[in-house]
Structure 1
C-alpha cells in the first residue's frame, strides 16, 4: 500500500471534528491499509484520518500486543474508569512529548471495515492510545491535555 504524508500542526484539519463514515467499500479498505502502512513507517502506535488530511472518523491502533491491529470506524467511548498519567507523543507533532492524564480503562463502540459494530474494552497503554486517536477525530490535540512537556532526551532510557 501507499505511504501517505502525515499532516503536521498547525494544519486546520487537525482541529476540526470529523464526519461519520457512511460508505464501507473498497476505497475505505485501501485507505485503512495505507494508514496502517503509514503508521508503521512513522514508528507510531496509532493514526487518525485527519493526520493524513482526511476529515473522517477513522483511526487505527496497534501497540504491538495480542490485540494486533485494530481498525476503528466511527468510534465512541461509552464508558471510562480510573486514571493514568504517562508520556505521549504525536506523529503530527514531531519530537514533542508530554505527560498526559487519561482514563485507565475504557469501553469503545465502533465499526469495523465492513461496517459491523463491535465493543472493545481496553486498559493501560492500549486505552491511552485509543483515547489519543479518538481525540483526533473530535479535533482535540494532545497538546491541550499536556500536564508538562518533556525535555529532549528525557524519555530515552
Structure 2
C-alpha cells in the first residue's frame, strides 16, 4: 500500500482511544499493509524500531503491527489479560517522538495478550522481557497512553546519548 505520515506527540489524536476493528466493515488488509509499509520505511530511515500502532498513522483502530528479528505479529483488537507482578526498567522511545529522545520507563516483565490475527482467528499468547515491553507500549497507543506517561523520575536522554551508552 503506502507509507503513511507518523502522527507526532502533541497531536490530540494520539490521546484518543482506538475503536475495535470490525472485520466485516473495516479494510483490514489495507490497514495492515499501511502499517507494514510504514514500519519498514521507518526502520530503514531510523535504523531501529520494531512495531507501530494504527493511531500512529492516523487510524483510530485497535491494530498493532510488529516485525523484528525475523518475526512478524499482527495484533487486531488486542487486550492484555494478565500482567506479571515483576517489573523492570527499560529505555524507551517512539516513532511519534521521532525517536529523538529516550525515557526510562517501568513495565511488567511478562504479559498475556488476547488478540485476533488478520483472518479474525482468536489467539492468546504470552510475552516476556523485550516483547512484553514492546507490546505494552503499542497497546498503550490504542488507549491514548504514550511512553512519556511512564517515564520514571523525569529520566530522559537524547538519542545520541542513548546510542553511545546503550546500543549494542
What TM-score do the two structures reach when normalised by structure 2? 0.87
Match of 2:143 in 1: 138
Structural RMSD (CA): 1.5
Deviation at 1:25, TM superposition (A): 7.0
User: Closer, same or farther in 2 for the Cα pair 1:112/1:119, shift >3 Å?
Assistant: same
Match of 1:91 in 2: 95
Deviation at 1:27, TM superposition (A): 2.4
Match of 1:75 in 2: 78
Assess if the C-alpha contact under 8 Å between 1:24 and 1:113 holds in 2. no
Structure 2 CA distance, aligned partners of 1:138 and 1:26? 19
User: Closer, same or farther in 2 for the Cα pair 1:46/1:92, shift >3 Å?
Assistant: same
SS in 2 for 1:79: strand
Assess if the C-alpha contact under 8 Å between 1:50 and 1:136 holds in 2. yes
Deviation at 1:53, TM superposition (A): 0.8
In structure 1, the gaps of 5 or more residues are none
> Which portions of structure 1, spanning 4 or more consecutive aligned residues, are displaced by more than 3 angstroms?
none
Deviation at 1:26, TM superposition (A): 8.2
Match of 1:9 in 2: 9
Verify: 1:154 aligned to 2:161, yes or no.
Answer: yes
SS in 1 for 2:163: coil
Verify: 1:51 aligned to 2:42, yes or no.
Answer: no
**Range moving further from structure 2, 19-28 or 138-147:** 19-28
Deviation at 1:156, TM superposition (A): 1.3
Q: Judging by fraction of residues, say which structure has more helix.
A: 2
Report the count of equivalent residues. 155
Match of 1:103 in 2: 108
Q: Deviations over 1:2-42 (max 9, x none)?
A: 11111111111100111111125782112202201211211
Structure 1 CA distance, aligned partners of 2:139 and 2:90? 17
Deviation at 1:74, TM superposition (A): 0.6
In structure 2, the gaps of 5 or more residues are 44-48
What TM-score do the two structures reach when normalised by structure 1? 0.92
